Amino acid sequence: MRQLIVAAAVLALTGCATAYNLTLMPRDSGKLYSGYADGIQGTEGRISITIEDKTYSGTWVATIPERSTGYAFGGGYGWGGRGHWGGLGGTISMDNPQGGESKALLTATDGSGLRCDFRGTWGQGGGVCRDDRGREYDVQLRSTPPRG
**CA-based nearest residue to 46, from 92, 107, 5, 87:** 107
Residue 9 lies in a domain: no
> What is the number of domains present in the chain?
1
**Which amino acid type is present at position 147?**
R
Q: Which domain holds residue 50?
A: 16-67+99-143
C-alpha–C-alpha distance, residues 24 and 141, integer Å: 9
Residue 106 lies in a domain: yes
pTM for the model:
0.69
Mean pLDDT confidence for 104-112: 98
**CA-based nearest residue to 65, from 102, 114, 12:** 102
CATH code (residue 125): 2.40.128.120
59-90 pLDDT, tens digit each: 999 887 655 566 666 655 555 555 555 556 67
Mean pLDDT confidence for 26-48: 91
